[in-house]
Amino acid sequence: MKKIFVTGGAGYIGSHVVKALGEAGYQVLVYDNLSTGNRWAVLHGDLVVGELSDRQLLSNTLRDFQPDAVMHFAAFIEVAESVSNPLKYYRNNTLNALQLLEVLQELNIGRFIFSSTAAVYGTPEEIPVAETAPLEPINPYGASKMMSERLLADLTLALPEDFRYVALRYFNVAGADSGGRIGQAYKNPTHLITRALKTARGQYPALQLFGTDYPTEDGTCIRDYIHVDDLAEAHLVALRHLLNGGQSDIFNCGYGHGYSVREVIEVAKKVSGVDFTVIEADRREGDPAALTAKSDKIVSELDWKPRHDDLEYIVRTAWEWEQKVDAKLSD
């Protein structure tokens, strides 16, 4: 049985990947400080509650576990916060990734899957954006991830046989486990779909719509929303690629088309059945106007088969999860 070490596996995306790894028969060890993750979200394997910057604990845990591959999800993820507190993001997302790579090198652990982001592209000249587009992040979050990608690229150049990685550039991840066991579970969520559905449930008085003067058809930002279970499957195909001797590579993870904020709000109103209040507000700092993935590379090269390219399904699974999450968080 192959062993996979998962940092950030108690978080939103990591927990869905851990679920998929468990169902596919991998042995999983999660390493997470539970800063935004939850113990109950780890459905398979064991959890070590630990801080990435704790080099000793990280190293001892990896030495004991001897994984065949590492998946690195642990990071801070909010664009707006990264603008107001950039060093927090460079420390956790870049410095802690660097230290993890040093420890892996010391222990000769050489297969790595990295959670990157569409934010590395900034405001691309052409959309859908291809993996080969220039990386010009417009916020510290994207820059912190771009720097980690650079570390990976340089390390694999130096050690082509001993270190191989796949960086997955996620677009906007949304939705929840179709079995209703896990989903996004933050005390103060900032993502559009989660905020909209919590507003529909009466947890916020209104949804703020950030920016209506973007150069898009309806003036609001366009994003490529990908269901979290399809993203989990992308990790499994990337893992098989590496374990079968595949080369280091980078793949976009999105469906290749997007929806405007107004379109998402309409679907959230339809699925919830609530005509919640929307307040048109100023642009949020650090937001590009439109970001969609050119997504054929992962399909053709890794045989990724997405199953949930349907905004209504994405929002419905998130809505079903919203009925449960508060009870989970107060457990």
Ligand X SMILES: O=c1ccn([C@@H]2O[C@H](COP(=O)(O)OP(=O)(O)O[C@H]3O[C@H](CO)[C@H](O)[C@H](O)[C@H]3O)[C@@H](O)[C@H]2O)c(=O)[nH]1
Ligand Y SMILES: NC(=O)c1ccc[n+]([C@@H]2O[C@H](COP(=O)([O-])OP(=O)(O)OC[C@H]3O[C@@H](n4cnc5c(N)ncnc54)[C@H](O)[C@@H]3O)[C@@H](O)[C@H]2O)c1
Positions annotated as catalytic residues are: 141
Determine if the peptide bond prior to 215 is cis (ω within 30°): no
The site partner of 297 among ligand X, ligand Y, none (C-beta below 5 to 8 Å per kind) is: none
- Select from 24, 101, 23 the least CA-distant residue to 62: 101
Contact 224, 257 (CB under 8 A): yes
Instruction: Please report whether residue 70 would count as binding ligand Y according to CB under 6 A.
Output: no
Q: By CB under 6 A, what part of segment 190-229 binds ligand X?
A: 190-192, 195, 207-210, 221, 223
CA distance 240 to 268: 36
User: Residue 150: which residues within 8 A CB-CB, separation 6 or more?
Assistant: none
Pick 210 or 304: Cβ nearer ligand X = 210
CA angle 183, 243, 241 (to 5 degrees): 70
Identify the DSSP state of 131. T
The site partner of 12 among ligand X, ligand Y, none (C-beta below 5 to 8 Å per kind) is: ligand Y
Stretch that binds ligand X, among 8-16, 66-74, 188-196, 304-312 (CB under 6 A): 188-196
Q: How far is the CB of 209 from ligand X (least distance, A)?
A: 5
Site track for ligand Y across 198-237, x = CB under 6 A? ----------------------------------------
Stretch that binds ligand Y, among 47-55, 101-109, 202-210, 263-271 (CB under 6 A): 47-55
Pick 244 or 288: Cβ nearer ligand Y = 288
Pick 153 or 159: Cβ nearer ligand Y = 153
Where are any strands of DSSP class E within the chain?
3-7, 27-32, 46-49, 69-72, 111-117, 164-170, 172-174, 207-210, 222-223, 225-227, 249-253, 259-260, 278-281, 290-291
Q: How far is the CB of 170 from ligand X (least distance, A)?
A: 6
Instruction: Please report whether residue 252 would count as binding ligand Y according to CB under 6 A.
Output: no
Q: How far is the CB of 7 from ligand Y (least distance, A)?
A: 6
Pick 165 or 170: Cβ nearer ligand X = 170
The b/e string for 33-44 (b: 16+ C-beta within 10 A; e otherwise) is beebbbeebbbb
CA distance 240 to 299: 14
Instruction: Please report whether residue 239 would count as binding ligand X according to CB under 6 A.
Output: no
Q: Is 315 helix (H, G, I), strand (E, B) or coil?
A: helix
From first CA to last CA, the distance across the chain in angstroms is: 33
Q: How far is the CB of 59 from ligand X (least distance, A)?
A: 28
Instruction: Please report whether residue 73 would count as binding ligand Y according to CB under 6 A.
Output: yes
Which of 4, 6, 10, 167: binder of ligand Y (CB under 6 A)? 10
Residue 3 CB coordination number (10 Å): 14
Instruction: Please report whether residue 74 would count as binding ligand Y according to CB under 6 A.
Output: yes
Q: By CB under 6 A, what part of segment 241-260 binds ligand X?
A: none
- Select from 79, 289, 252, 286 the least CA-distant residue to 170: 252
Tell the burial category of 217 from Cβ atoms under 10 Å away from its Cβ (0-12, 13-18, 19+). Answer: exposed
Q: By CB under 6 A, what part of segment 75-94 binds ligand X?
A: 77, 79
Q: How far is the CB of 13 from ligand Y (least distance, A)?
A: 3
Instruction: Please report whether residue 155 would count as binding ligand Y according to CB under 6 A.
Output: no
Structure token pair of residue 155:
């390390």
The site partner of 37 among ligand X, ligand Y, none (C-beta below 5 to 8 Å per kind) is: ligand Y
Instruction: Please report whether residue 8 would count as binding ligand Y according to CB under 6 A.
Output: yes
Pick 68 or 229: Cβ nearer ligand X = 229
Residues in touch with ligand Y (CB under 6 A): 8, 10-14, 32-37, 51-53, 73-75, 77, 92, 96, 115, 117, 170, 172-173
